[in-house]
A and B are shown apart, each in its own frame.
Chain A
Amino acid sequence: MSAIRELYQQVILDHNKSPRNYHAMPDATRAVDGYNPLCGDHYKVYVKIDHGIVTDISFEGSGCAISKASASVMSSMVKGKTVAEADALFAEFHRLVTGTSAGDDDIQRLGKLAAFAGVSEYPARVKCASLAWHTLHSALSSDQSSVSTE
């Protein structure tokens, strides 16, 4: 497969076209805005947290296929996970997109997120892939109401 097809895998194209959990959540515990000022991408990530568990998550906003698909896959992966598990997944995802994963075992644990492995060939797109994750991290861990990749 060519590098460009590796980047735009079917999972990514699918989640870009039909993003999951793509809606506002008026009764969210936390809602945080994430911006990439370089390309104008903007997402709002909503979470409901109950006793340290992410019981619900949604997002809305606009950006490139990589950032939108990443937000969509993320939302379907972290629902039901503890805050610590979600953060650990982010750490692993970050290693994947920066090409620093320890090995195939790591990548297999990522499930659908493994579709983003091609991003590591495109350093300029790492921020796209991780924007929603940074935003989620902020929602789970701090009092910030917005986060920027710059």
Chain B
Amino acid sequence: MEIIAHRAAPDILSTALRVAGCRHHFPVLRQWVNGKPLVYLDNAATSQKPQIVIDAMMRYYESENSNIHRGVHYLSERATEAYEGVRRKVAQFVNASDASEIIFVRGTTEAVNLVSYSYGRKSIGPGDEVVISAMEHHSNIVPWQILCEEKGAKLRVIPMDDRGVLLLDEYEKLLNERTKIVAVVHVSNALGTINPVKEMIATAHRRGIPVLVDGAQAVPHMKVDVRDLDCDFYAFSAHKMFGPTGVGVLYGKTRHLEAMPPYQGGGDMIKSVTFEKTIYNDLPHKFEAGTPNIGGGIGLGAAVDYLVDLDMDAVAAHEHDLLLYATQAVQQIPGVRIIGTAPMKAGVLSFVIDGIHPHDIGTILDDEGIAIRTGHHCAQPVMLRFGVPATARASFAFYNTKEEIDALVRGIDKVKEVLG
């Protein structure tokens, strides 16, 4: 069954059918681990790759490999066209106004660093403030901390409640004439909370403050429209959206990107170089020094094609169904506490078990062929906020099934049996 054949309205039945037909696109999911069929529930760490992504990258290296933006020869032109074609695809996928607003980077982390380095160093001075939230990944904390330390600026943090919901009244109170940027996560990797970023952006814009959104956990799981959100910057990674590692995207509004100094110097980001003066290239190339991850970019393009065919609304509906099913099942297990109970959540289920360390949960589940993440999820302040050293986290993708959640529940019972 091909996914393209199923683009009807995403009611639960047709979604389930579509998903049943999709799972076989992912070769890695066919294996057995420790004598059990692999149950891969670590999608927030990285997603698996469909065959068409793997094939697209292989085809590129087999028949198109060449450096881009340079050669006049046949292969270079083909590679350049393929790579720039991906930029147009990504722009369309997130509804950017123009492909030149799509900057290719290594991943979300580099995208945030690019903005903190380039935009931040130009716009932030002593006494200024940067606002982030209490549920940020380290990659949306540390770059701003480095900037604030260097500039004598202050990092302010939007607090959250015990469910993992940001306190929007407190957020509004934090904003003032010294606030130079707001950097907030769209979907929390540790809690699953979907933040009301559109509303938060509007709040900041009323005061003329630009907003960066970390969309690493949002783009693979829901429709993202950067113009509807009206965000100034939006960052995401290919590897979490069924593409390869080592490539990611920074979307930025043209007027910001035009005004920003380059992030790194080198080839491709220049128009002309003399020892006296260098003239920088136009967008997006100004921010893309050096030969990029071309093969990775091609893989990202294939992943975008795949997601467009799949329909992001159907993906979101199926994952929501999985989350409800898993939440209900897991919260009924005695001694289990779910961390992150916001009303608006994506497919992330973080939990702890009384008297059992998450690390031991992870090892015993692995023995059952179930892959989850245990630890602080690169969000130590979140762990501190909830008073736990670590959590166990199951995170879903559209290829997961209710049978796999049943296996997770049986696995948790086994954990309690072994360590009880």
Set of chain A residues within 8 Å of B383, measured between Cβ atoms: 40
A-B contact pairs, 15 of them (CB 8 A): A3-B367, A8-B360, A8-B418, A38-B375, A39-B359, A39-B390, A40-B376, A40-B389, A41-B359, A62-B389, A63-B357, A63-B359, A65-B360, A125-B359, A128-B359
Count of inter-chain pairs, beta carbons less than 8 A:
51
Partner of B419, one of A3, A8, A38: A8
Chain A: minimal CB distance from B61 (Å): 32
Measured CA separation A16–B419 after assembly (Å): 9
Chain B: minimal CB distance from A16 (Å): 8
Instruction: Check A5 against B418 for contact (C-beta < 8 Å).
Output: yes
Chain B: minimal CB distance from A35 (Å): 11
* Minimum CB distance partner of B356 in chain A: A65
Q: Is A7 an interface residue (CB 8 A)?
A: yes
Which bucket holds chain B's interface residue count?
10 to 19
Q: Is B139 an interface residue (CB 8 A)?
A: no
Set of chain B residues within 8 Å of A8, measured between Cβ atoms: 360, 364, 418-419
Q: Is B374 an interface residue (CB 8 A)?
A: yes
Set of chain A residues within 8 Å of B341, measured between Cβ atoms: none
Set of chain A residues within 8 Å of B374, measured between Cβ atoms: 39
Q: Is A110 an interface residue (CB 8 A)?
A: no
B interface: dominant SS: helix
Using a CB-CB cutoff of 8 Å, which residues 68-125 of chain A contact chain B? Answer: 68, 122, 124-125
Measured CA separation A87–B356 after assembly (Å): 30
Measured CA separation A146–B367 after assembly (Å): 33
Binding site for A on B (CB under 8 A): 356-360, 363-364, 367, 374-376, 380, 383, 389-390, 418-419
Most buried by B among A3, A40, A42, A62: A40
Using a CB-CB cutoff of 8 Å, which residues 117-146 of chain A contact chain B? Answer: 122, 124-125, 128
Q: Is A32 an interface residue (CB 8 A)?
A: no
Q: Is A28 an interface residue (CB 8 A)?
A: no
Most buried by A among B358, B363, B376, B390: B363
Instruction: Check A40 against B418 for contact (C-beta < 8 Å).
Output: no
Measured CA separation A38–B380 after assembly (Å): 11
Measured CA separation A13–B376 after assembly (Å): 24
Q: Is A54 an interface residue (CB 8 A)?
A: no
Which bucket holds chain A's interface residue count?
20 to 34
Q: Is A57 an interface residue (CB 8 A)?
A: no
> Beyond A40-B390, A64-B357, is A125–B375 a contact (Cβ under 8 Å)?
no
Chain B: minimal CB distance from A97 (Å): 14
Set of chain A residues within 8 Å of B363, measured between Cβ atoms: 4, 7, 122, 124-125
Set of chain A residues within 8 Å of B356, measured between Cβ atoms: 65
Chain A: minimal CB distance from B373 (Å): 11
Chain A: minimal CB distance from B276 (Å): 46
Measured CA separation A68–B357 after assembly (Å): 10
Chain B: minimal CB distance from A49 (Å): 30
Measured CA separation A136–B367 after assembly (Å): 31
* Minimum CB distance partner of A122 in chain B: B363
Using a CB-CB cutoff of 8 Å, which residues 4-39 of chain A contact chain B? Answer: 4-5, 7-8, 13, 16, 38-39
Chain A: minimal CB distance from B386 (Å): 13
Set of chain B residues within 8 Å of A66, measured between Cβ atoms: 359-360
Instruction: Check B419 against A65 for contact (C-beta < 8 Å).
Output: yes
Set of chain B residues within 8 Å of A124, measured between Cβ atoms: 363
Set of chain B residues within 8 Å of A38, measured between Cβ atoms: 375
Measured CA separation A38–B375 after assembly (Å): 7
Measured CA separation A128–B186 after assembly (Å): 34
Measured CA separation A65–B420 after assembly (Å): 11
Measured CA separation A2–B366 after assembly (Å): 13
Measured CA separation A54–B111 after assembly (Å): 52
Measured CA separation A16–B358 after assembly (Å): 14
Measured CA separation A23–B375 after assembly (Å): 25
Set of chain A residues within 8 Å of B360, measured between Cβ atoms: 8, 64-66
Top 5 nearest A-B pairs (CB, nearest first) are A64-B359, A64-B357, A4-B367, A40-B389, A65-B360
